[in-house]
Amino acid sequence: MKAMLLRKPAPVETNPLEYADVETPSPGSEEVLIKISKCGVCRTDLHIVEGELPPVKLPLIPGHQVIGRVVEVGRNVEGVRHGELVGVPWLYYACGECRYCRRGLENLCDHALFTGYSVNGGYAEYMVAHYRFIHKIPGELGELEAAPLMCAGAVGYRSLRLTGLLETGGVLGLFGYGAAAHLMLQTARKLGLRVYVFTSSPWKIEHALKNGAEWAGATSEEPPSKLDAAIVYAPVSQVFVEALRKLDKGGRVVLGEIYMTPVERLEYRLLWEEREVKTVANVTRRDVVEFLQIAVKHGIKPEVKTFRLEQANEALKELKHGRSLGQIVLEIS
């Protein structure tokens, strides 16, 4: 099969992914073989390809927002049929037995495997996946639009859930307005939250206001009121500190990125009065299932920009430097 292979992390400008012929994997007894039709391109892929996340497997096929059809089923697989449309998220496998899994924190499992990082992912024509960690894609969702929901949507939803605002309501600040924030603006509005968006580009401010933000402005500006919670989607510590500065007493900042520049200085008074900071790590099956239901119920749809499989280097460059707000998706078949 054809795949985009990473042999050694390097800046995307040097085209580190190689369009290669590799052996089609065969499913183990609890695995399915998936013929991939779409694979979303996520900022985490960029961090993996460029080496900000230390490599755990090389060579590697990246990609963890995979949509495709089941074409082969291992002998112990239950409840998955040949031909079914499924999605594979970042969480490829969790043990189900460690103390994190037993507490419902399978995203923190000691033995977790991650798609397109510790195992091969979806920048390819086929992949294998464990049958208990794939997700049936509802017929209401198009394949193209479903791909970004597997990570930008599901992990975005986990950050939204961890703000605590889904129980209490209130004012949410979104810092950084890219693909994930754009999806979470739609989701938060549909779930009844008031949303302020912080971004430096004038055209993004306009876009956010058109899409339901109650207020939008630069990160340095003062919003109309303090924030009950904030989600930071920029891997930049100064933005995180700005978010803390705008937080009301008892509020929480959720950091949605897997990587952030070092925090050079943090004054205690920004944290005092019971302000909290929480990071989001990975995703659970519950996050994916709940978010797919919400997306169907409320018609949440990403804007999508497509590239072919062999253009994955270009897709990553577009993600790194591009001006588009859309989710980037590789069209594979």
Which residues of this chain interact with Zn ion, rule CB under 5 A?
A: 42, 44, 94-95, 98, 101, 109, 151
The separation between CA 164 and the C-alpha centre of its own chain, rounded to angstroms, equals 19
Q: How far is the CB of 100 from Zn ion (least distance, A)?
A: 5
Q: Can you name the residues that pair with 61 across neighbouring β-strands?
A: none
- 118 vs 254: CA distance, rounded Å: 25
CB-wise, 244 or 295, nearer to Zn ion? Answer: 295
- 46 vs 324: CA distance, rounded Å: 16
- 99 vs 245: CA distance, rounded Å: 35
CB-wise, 94 or 174, nearer to Zn ion? Answer: 94
CA-based nearest residue to 2, from 31, 35, 26, 27: 35
Q: How far is the CB of 138 from Zn ion (least distance, A)?
A: 20
Q: How far is the CB of 224 from Zn ion (least distance, A)?
A: 32
CB-wise, 46 or 205, nearer to Zn ion? Answer: 46
CB-wise, 171 or 258, nearer to Zn ion? Answer: 258
Q: How far is the CB of 113 from Zn ion (least distance, A)?
A: 11
CB-wise, 94 or 171, nearer to Zn ion? Answer: 94
Q: How far is it between the farthest Cα atoms of the chain? A: 59
Residue written as token pair 């979806």: 122
- 183 vs 232: CA distance, rounded Å: 14
Q: How far is the CB of 45 from Zn ion (least distance, A)?
A: 7
- 321 vs 64: CA distance, rounded Å: 21
Q: How far is the CB of 277 from Zn ion (least distance, A)?
A: 21
> Strand pairing of 194-198 and 215-217?
parallel
CA dihedral 145, 150, 154, 156 (to 10 degrees): -70
CB-wise, 117 or 196, nearer to Zn ion? Answer: 117
